[in-house]
Chains A and B, each alone.
Chain A
Amino acid sequence: MTQLSVKHLLGIKDLKEEDIQLIFETADNFKTIINRPIKKVPSLRDITVANLFFENSTRTRISFELAQKRLSADVINFSSSSSSVSKGETLIDTVRNILSMKVDMVVMRHPSPGACVFLAKHIDATILNAGDGTHEHPTQALLDAYSIKEATGGVTGKKVAIIGDILHSRVALSNIYCLQKLGAEVMVCGPSTLIPRHIEQLGVKVEHDLRKALEWCDVANMLRIQFERQDIKYFPSLREYSMQYGLTLDILNSIDKDITIMHPGPINRGVEITSEVADSDYSIILDQVENGVAIRMACMFLLAKHKE
């Protein structure tokens, strides 16, 4: 495998296992680069990247921007709140206007599932999906799997439980695809109202009891409750949710093995995870953030190649 099989990074579903391995190998090299005194390479010096964020983001946006700068790309940032989108411009018009200023690559986050696929069909630039609604968030899944590999020595054969609001989570879907392609077993755990129907058809186990999920897994990926996407109540109260599904040090200590704890952020301390757990040695949350930059550098480096 010497080249990615895709022209855009729209979702993990389109990737082959070899693509993921190639991204990981490339990310290994970028990780050494971002840990040395001069953290920059000139690879993308002739590329301009537009970061289009139609939805709020802290980590992903900073991580992408940092990755672009470490690759010497020129960067323009756009957020919908301060733009003409609020004046009624359509997505495709906004993007066409930006592209006419000679942009080669677009990193986009959008509240509508499939927005990136739509864009890839209609415009002539490399598209990276930075999260589209409740659909996919490919770079997050890649950095999660990479962090699991780094923390536990490999992904194949590992048991990973994704716990929390699966229904509204793009991280969950991308993680399921990615982990399964790499040979891991995946379980989703949460209240039945927050687990999509028929999800077991993706080949994942479904569990509603947090303790049983933890007893089964090697790695637990805790997800936030996505209130901004919930238009009805899915559980009686936040207090009840955190009593049932909040990860505490007491539960972790009562289980007879070490579990690696992950969280894609932002954390709601005291809801899905307590501060003690988030800041404990079990947690690799900050390693995930560090690896995010290396993974995004690798994705952009490999995708830039496709544009002649």
Chain B
Amino acid sequence: MEGKLLYDHQKLIATLNRLAYELVENHDSFDNSAIIGLQPRGVFPARIIRQKIEEITGSKIRYGELDITFYRDDYRTSDRQLIASPIHIPFSTENLNIILIDDVLYTGRSVRSAMDALLDFGRPSKVELCVLVDRKFHRENPIAPDYVGKSVDTRGNIQKVKVDWEEQNYKVWLINA
């Protein structure tokens, strides 16, 4: 693939492990916290982070997957049809500390929609954001991540971050769109 390799498999796993430790540092045993991966692509890092946290804390944590298709602000104007993915949040978010996990943070619009969607499952006492790649300087909403794998400077429309979640060979590329 043409472009710059931001992460190879090993580095990516190391970063996800680091994020898991950071989360445990701030959330202790996760008794009052939950992580939620954003469909469709944020669930891959979320699942790995969840597994790591469960290894560290030695107990099961609350875990959910949230799809924001029905909450998007651009669904009728964007050129492509957005296909919904399953939503699976088997707990109420009422009074929990929620950590949203996504792969790439770009304009912040998905995260804004996700916060809308999250309210339909209860009122969390706190919502944090954890992303693997932060494309800073392109935000269209006042949103900032709390946990970041890597921050990169990218050129808006002409570059893209591509994350390859192929089985056991994860890679993250910065490519020219």
- Interface residues of A, Cβ cutoff 8 Å to B: 2-3, 22, 25-26, 28-29, 32-33, 36-38, 40-43, 46, 71, 301-302, 304-305, 307-308
Contacts and interface: CB of A to CB of B under 8 A. Distances in A.
Task: Rank and list the top 4 A-B pairs by shortest CB-CB distance, nearest first.
Answer: A41-B70, A3-B81, A38-B120, A2-B81
Given A2-B81, A38-B121, A301-B70, A33 B87 contact: yes
Which of A42, A46, A301 is packed against the most chain B CB atoms within 10 Å? A42
Contacts of B168: none
A279 B10 CA distance: 59
Contact of B121 (A2, A28, A36, A308): A36
Contacts of A46: 76
Given A25-B84, A42-B71, A301-B70, A307 B76 contact: yes
Contacts of A33: 70, 87
B81 A305 contact: yes
B116 interface: yes
Given A40-B120, A43-B75, A29 B80 contact: no
B50 to A, nearest CB: 21
Given A305-B81, A308-B77, A32 B71 contact: no
B71 A43 contact: yes
A181 B142 CA distance: 48
Contact of A29 (B76, B81, B86): B86
Nearest to A306: B76
A26 B69 CA distance: 10
Interface residues of B, number: 19
Contacts of B85: 29
B140 to A, nearest CB: 19
Contacts of A25: 83-84
Contacts of A28: 86
Given A305-B75, A305-B81, A36 B120 contact: yes
Given A29-B67, A42-B71, A302-B81, 18 more contacts: A3-B80, A3-B81, A22-B83, A25-B83, A25-B84, A26-B84, A28-B86, A29-B69, A29-B86, A37-B92, A37-B121, A41-B117, A42-B116, A43-B71, A43-B75, A71-B70, A301-B70, A308-B77
Contacts of B120: 36, 38, 40-41
Interface in B68-119: 69-71, 75-77, 80-81, 83-87, 92, 116-117
